[in-house]
Amino acid sequence: MKRLTLLIVLVSILAGGWTYLNSTEEFAGRTGKGCSFCHRSASGGPLNSVGIAYARNSYRYPIPPRILRKSETISTPFHRTMRLIMGYIHLVAACILVGAIFYVHIMIKPQKLTSGIPRAEKKLGMSCMFTLLVTGIYLTWYRLDSPGAFLESHFGILLLTKIILFALMLTSALLAITVVHSRMKKNAGGGGEEGDEISRSNISEFDGESGREGYLIYRDRVYDISGSDQWEDGVHFGRHRAGGDMTGEMEGAPHGEEVLERVPLIKKLAGPGNGGGNKSKVKRVFIFMAYANMVLILLILLCVSSWFWGFPIASDKEAEAAIASSEDCMECHRGESPGIYHDWDRSVHSMVGVTCSDCHQRKPGGETVSIRHLEHSETPVSALVTPNTCAGCHPLEASQYSRSKHAHTLEIINSMDKWMLDGMNNRIERVSGCYACHGSRVSFVDGKPVEGTWPNVGVGRVNPDGSLGSCTSCHTRHRFSLVEARKPEACDQCHLGPDHPQIEIYNESKHGTIYHASGDSWNWRTDDARWLAGRDYRAPTCASCHISEADTVKRSHDVTRRLSWELQAPLTIRPADFSTFPSGTHWRLERKRMKTVCLQCHSPEWTDGHFATLDSVISNYNEIYYGPAKEVMDGLYSSGLLSDKRYFDEYLEWEFYELWHYEGRRARMGTAMMAPDYAWWHGFYELKHRYLLFMEEAEEARKSGSRRRFPHFPGKLRK
């Protein structure tokens, strides 16, 4: 029996753990249970607090800004470890309690418990319920952020129901082992008005085995030897067994009846044959409470089963209407724009039940465009999807992104780029070029986007709702593929060309060589939502170094992190000193994080040597090339040989700009990403050539007192 009980407990633990491990989007795809069952309210929309709490425990959805402080606290390794320990103890205690209750009802039967719950079962049951109470309080606090979260989803309602049932069971158990149990013991002792419960006819039921009470009769008195060390499991020195009359056996014992003074006297019998096996009112109450607890535990198990395998306990007309509306969208797009439909149909969003209306539904006060659907009625939908929309389910990513250089890149070029500041390119050149990557300032008139501000998916797009950027810059519509975003091709639309040729640099590097040789065999989509070097890929991509997790470094959509130098600036400085967009980070900490990424595949000596080379290259560029050239430019401006009214209308301004913006960046970035051809031939070699021509032209301007100008400059903005 003990082995069978142990087997049941182990199977329950393994089964429960397996279910939690499969609580991912792949699990949702196999079972057909979408996010809305527990992550979102019945009417759809963004994650509710229950869904966000679930994110902390299993699948890696993020935490919204309103509870970021608590999230940062409970997301520490200590709290995650505590959650694992508490959850494991909670599960084990539940399995043991259920086993004990079934054992009492099936093997012992409540009708035979004439003096209450056996001592062993009582201690085990109360210990388990106390453990469940303590661990349950911690786990509930860990998962929920407010009492209202209980009513926000089907899962919340199930959890609240389970807590109420457990409270009833705990109250019933406390009454059973205190008030009812004491009355039964009192009645069993003969002093109660309910009648006798122990007699010569049923004394055999109290044999002390399997945790039952142990009684014996001596001279018409009933003694309780359950707590005596001399009567282990109801047996005394292997010869005498509880549950009978010991009067005759005392004569041959090496001791007298004085030893019975050490154990409780619980009843005096009136005489031989005094039975009284009638069930008392107290016993009937006890039996009722025992079976009531059995029903309660079955209902609790039903709640757990409903959570794991689904049980539609609620219906919501608004949710049904949203689903119907989305079906109209799908029906139309399937025929008119099959690319959109099939991209969505193959996406994770489709797999977990995120429909068109979830992303494109009208937001309060948001910009809309009227779309005529199949019933020929006007359906207002959002004209664009912004990071605020995505934050409904991905708030941590949206929050991290909002702090990054990507989100502020339009602000950066508007405040430092001479093309923008001095109006040296016109509107269409900006729209088709600069704004395509850096982002536009989207505006609407009468519900329609203003031409030139839309369409746009620039990383720094300024949206009407105040959010910055476009998630579809990297997670392209409507597949929103994580695999695409992990590959370097996701970045090559913007990070290429003469001023920041990161994709060309990557392709030349050994990292890029390995990617092109074996990337098709890498594990781009993992079951545990983690993407790890060595296990899933051989060499890093852009995402590996700047976004993905690595050992102790958490993943982050803030690409400003892990940078120890600001390589796009004319003079290489620390990111925190970049006046256009100070990072708010400390370069030593960020370098340590980046080194952690490198150490996944490289030795400490290799890693330290690489960064030492990078630091030397930066000093070489700052001191030998940029510093002297900048000093010459400042002298020409102060002497009046160059005009500071506009940029690019004079030859030396153009040469100086390309010196740091083209060759200077390529030399630094080529070194940082280990592409020697870009560090030298496209970098310092061309930088050296540009520097010599620049210095020669500057010297000629000083000697002649004049400079070369471009009076007929094309494509200027009018002021």
Q: What average pLDDT does range 15-35 have in this prediction?
A: 43
- CATH 1.20.850.10 segments of the chain: 512-704
- Is residue 194 very low, low, confident or very high in pLDDT (cuts 50, 70, 90)? very low
Average pLDDT in the 391-414 region? 90
CB atoms within 10 A of CB 414: 15
Q: Which of 153, 152, 150, 154 is nearest to 311 (CA)?
A: 154
Residue 701 has pLDDT above 60, yes or no: yes
Mean pLDDT of the 682-696 span? 97
Q: What CATH fold (topology level) applies to the domain 203-248+255-275?
A: Flavocytochrome B2; Chain A, domain 1 (3.10.120)
138-152, 435-449, 515-529 — which is least confidently predicted? 138-152
Residue 310 φ/ψ region, left for φ over 0, alpha for ψ in the -120 to 50 degree band, beta for the rest: left
- Give the C-alpha separation, 441 to 463, whole Å: 6
- Whether the pLDDT of residue 620 is over 90: the answer is yes
Q: Give the pLDDT confidence score for residue 392 in this predicted structure.
A: 78
Tokens 């959890």 sit at which residue?
159
| Mean per-residue pLDDT of the chain | 80
pLDDT at 561: 93
Task: Name the nearest CA neighbour of 39 among 138, 28, 137.
Answer: 28
| pLDDT interval class at 367 (50, 70, 90) | low
Question: 263: pLDDT confidence band, cut at 50, 70 and 90?
Answer: confident
- Is residue 173 predicted with pLDDT exceeding 70? yes
Q: How confident is the model at residue 389 (pLDDT cuts 50, 70, 90)?
A: confident
- Say yes or no to pLDDT of 138 above 90: no
DSSP letter, residue 621: I
Q: Which stretch, 275-284, 333-342, 651-660, has highest mean pLDDT? A: 651-660
Residue with tokens 């003469």: 498
> d(Cα 488, Cα 511) in Å, to the nearest integer?
11
Average pLDDT, integer, range 192-207: 64
Pairing of strands 235-236, 240-241: antiparallel
Q: Does domain 512-704 have CATH number 1.20.850.10?
A: yes
Model confidence at 14, pLDDT cuts 50, 70, 90, reads very low
Considering the chain, what percentage of its residues have pLDDT values greater than 90? 39
- 3-state secondary structure (DSSP) of residue 532: coil
Model pTM score: 0.64
Taking residues 480-502, report their average pLDDT. 94
Query: At a CB cut-off of 8 Å and minimum separation 6, what does 576 contact?
Result: 582, 583, 584, 585, 586, 587
pLDDT of residue 94: 87
Q: Where in the chain is the domain with CATH 3.10.120.10?
A: 203-248+255-275
pLDDT-derived band at 23, boundaries 50, 70, 90: very low
Q: Is the pLDDT of residue 77 over 90?
A: no
Q: Is the pLDDT of residue 374 over 50?
A: no
